[in-house]
């Protein structure tokens, strides 16, 4: 069965996250994994194969652990400018919402981003992407949302696509036109939503720039009715749906997004049980963003117990952005999910693999070590997969594998 494999990893312990493997982490011990045509072709216990007769290129994992490549299912990593001054303002007492209402916040990043060319956006974003990749991210979602006009939103998405072409990582893009109200539409939020639905979404689709839409459903952003119009336009164009909801208040945005079959709803600190039930019924992933909770010094915890009770899949992502989560480390996000939200290390790693993949609408392709899946894998020098959420600031990656090929960040 290994005879047709181009590459084989031997003597590996696997955290498969395959639900059919009914053990914590979907763990399989002392295995061999064979890969060809970018996909996992075979997984078998070492004792069933004759190590002397293996074809292809063989890597001896020497008892290390293979996990699925990490999936960062929520990032705003393409942007220009810095918000360090706002960090200072907040430390002197201003709140995130106050800064936003005074024209700072998201709008300050919009000003800087509109001035940048696609090339500049790529160059400015590359260090952030590289930081994620070095820690094991093999798939990343990147949003627009700092352009807020047709040209600049498309430029952000073009930059995101280019990053995916230049680096060994899968990039999934989300058009977050409805992120904040641009100054040109000061008193006309509905007019801006018209632009998003009638011009921006069709233009992005025509260029193949967007995999999904995203919205910010919040008192300082867009109402549920406005978000619903964006969801309808997305459905008409065959795009996936995701949404920032229940971050600063409960607008019932999660239930709305679930009604439209959203892949994921994100943040969720103010989510209530009715919202959780709606997610469970729709199979929508709850994406937790502990970096934003930490950085905004939030105190309202997302309802983890209710999400568990209703078996809603939980993803964990960085929310990497200049304002609320300047965090280019999915490993640290996993640790924060444990320390701040009380996820178990297994839930945190599942959230950065299997359920991250589901949050991107790619559950059948990535996020598990399973025959047929894309061979995006990480080989770690660790004794146990709980170490990946436990420790931060050290990087125990021995090998990073994308589409079956060892690759450096
Ligand atoms: O995910 N919630 C809205 N958007 C971002 C913050 C963006 C910003 O402050 O620049 C978030 O937290
Ligand atoms: Fe976000």
DSSP assignments along 339-385, one per residue: HTT---HHHHHHHTTHHHHHHTT-TTTSSS--TTSB--EEEE--SST
Of 74, 215, 292, 293, the one to substitute when testing ligand 1's pocket (max ligand atoms within 8 A of C-beta) is 292
Mean pLDDT across 181-192: 96
Instruction: Name which residue sits closest to atom 3 of ligand 1, judged by CA.
Output: 216
Mean pLDDT across 105-117: 96
Please indicate whether residue 104, judged by its CB atom, sits closer than 6 Å to ligand 1. Answer: no
Instruction: Name which residue sits closest to atom 5 of ligand 1, judged by CA.
Output: 324
Q: What is the pLDDT of residues 311-353, one digit of tens each?
A: 999 999 999 999 999 999 999 999 999 999 999 999 999 999 9
Q: Quick one: pLDDT at residue 4?
A: 86
- Ligand 1 center from residue 180 Cα (angstroms): 9
Please indicate whether residue 322, judged by its CB atom, sits closer than 6 Å to ligand 1. Answer: yes
Q: Which residues contact 58 (CB under 8 A, 6 or more apart)?
A: 7, 8, 9, 10
The model's confidence at residue 87, banded by pLDDT at 50, 70 and 90, is very high
Please indicate whether residue 109, judged by its CB atom, sits closer than 6 Å to ligand 1. Answer: yes
Which ligand 1 atom minimizes the distance to the CA of 109? 10
Please indicate whether residue 319, judged by its CB atom, sits closer than 6 Å to ligand 1. Answer: yes
pTM of the model: 0.97
DSSP state, 162?
A: H
- Ligand 2 center from residue 145 Cα (angstroms): 9
Neighbours of ion ligand 2 (CB under 5 A): 319
Which ligand 1 atom minimizes the distance to the CA of 218? 2
Q: Is the pLDDT of residue 128 over 80?
A: yes
Q: Is the pLDDT of residue 211 over 90?
A: yes
Rounded Cα gap, residues 372 and 38, in angstroms: 9
Up-side HSE of residue 328: CA atoms within 13 Å toward CB?
13
Q: What is the pLDDT of residues 252-296, one digit of tens each?
A: 999 999 999 999 999 999 999 999 999 999 999 999 999 999 999
Q: Indicate which ligand has the atom closest to the C-alpha of 143.
A: 2
- Ligand 1 center from residue 247 Cα (angstroms): 10
Q: Which residues contact 101 (CB under 8 A, 6 or more apart)?
A: 220
Q: Is the pLDDT of residue 51 over 80?
A: no
Arithmetic mean of pLDDT over the chain: 96
Burial category of 238 from C-beta neighbours within 10 Å (exposed 0-12, middle 13-18, buried 19 and up): exposed
Mean pLDDT across 348-374: 98
Of 323, 327, 333, the one to substitute when testing ligand 1's pocket (max ligand atoms within 8 A of C-beta) is 323
Q: Quick one: pLDDT at residue 33?
A: 97
Q: Is the pLDDT of residue 395 over 90?
A: yes
Which ligand 1 atom minimizes the distance to the CA of 323? 9
Q: Quick one: pLDDT at residue 3?
A: 84
Mean pLDDT across 370-380: 98
Mean pLDDT across 182-210: 97
- Ligand 1 center from residue 122 Cα (angstroms): 20
Q: Quick one: pLDDT at residue 8?
A: 96
The model's confidence at residue 409, banded by pLDDT at 50, 70 and 90, is low
Q: Is the pLDDT of residue 52 over 70?
A: no
Q: What is the pLDDT of residues 155-179, one digit of tens each?
A: 999 999 999 999 999 999 999 999 9
Q: Is the pLDDT of residue 310 over 70?
A: yes
Q: Is the pLDDT of residue 28 over 90?
A: yes
């Amino acid at each position: 069965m290994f005879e047709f494999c181009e590459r084989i990893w031997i003597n590996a312990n696997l955290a498969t996250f395959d639900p059919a493997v009914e053990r914590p982490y979907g763990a399989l011990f002392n295995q061999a994994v064979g890969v060809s045509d970018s996909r996992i072709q075979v997984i078998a216990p070492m004792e069933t194969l004759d190590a002397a007769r293996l074809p292809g290129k063989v890597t001896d994992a020497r008892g290390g652990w293979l996990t699925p490549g990490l999936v960062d299912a929520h990032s705003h990593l393409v942007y220009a400018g810095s918000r360090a001054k706002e960090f200072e303002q907040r430390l002197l007492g201003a709140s995130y919402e106050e800064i936003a209402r005074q024209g700072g916040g998201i709008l300050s990043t919009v000003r800087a981003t509109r001035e940048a060319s696609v090339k500049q956006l790529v160059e400015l974003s590359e260090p952030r992407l590289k930081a994620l990749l070095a820690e094991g991210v093999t798939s990343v979602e990147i949003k627009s949302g700092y352009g807020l006009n047709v040209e600049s939103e498309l430029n952000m998405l073009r930059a995101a696509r280019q990053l995916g072409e230049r680096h060994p990582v899968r990039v999934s893009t989300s058009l977050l036109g409805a992120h904040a109200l641009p100054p040109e539409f000061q008193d006309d939020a509905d007019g801006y939503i018209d632009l998003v639905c009638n011009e921006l979404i069709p233009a992005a689709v025509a260029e193949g720039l967007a995999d999904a839409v995203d919205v910010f459903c919040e008192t300082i952003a867009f109402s549920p009715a406005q978000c619903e119009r964006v969801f309808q336009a997305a459905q008409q164009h065959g795009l996936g749906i995701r949404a920032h909801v229940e971050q600063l208040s409960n607008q019932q945005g999660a239930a709305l997004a679930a009604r439209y079959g959203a892949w994921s709803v994100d943040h969720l600190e103010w989510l209530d049980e009715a919202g959780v039930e709606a997610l469970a019924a729709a199979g929508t992933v709850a994406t937790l963003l502990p970096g934003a909770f930490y950085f905004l010094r939030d105190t309202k915890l997302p309802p983890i117990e209710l999400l568990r009770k209703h078996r809603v899949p939980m993803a964990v992502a960085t929310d990497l952005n200049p304002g609320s989560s300047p965090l280019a480390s999915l490993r640290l996000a996993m640790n924060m999910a444990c320390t701040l939200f009380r996820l178990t290390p297994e839930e945190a790693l599942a959230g950065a693999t299997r359920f991250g993949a589901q949050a991107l609408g790619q559950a059948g392709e990535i996020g598990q070590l399973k025959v047929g899946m894309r061979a995006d894998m990480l080989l770690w020098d660790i004794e146990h997969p709980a170490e990946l959420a436990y420790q931060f600031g050290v990087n125990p990656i021995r090998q990073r594998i994308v589409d079956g090929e060892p690759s450096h960040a």
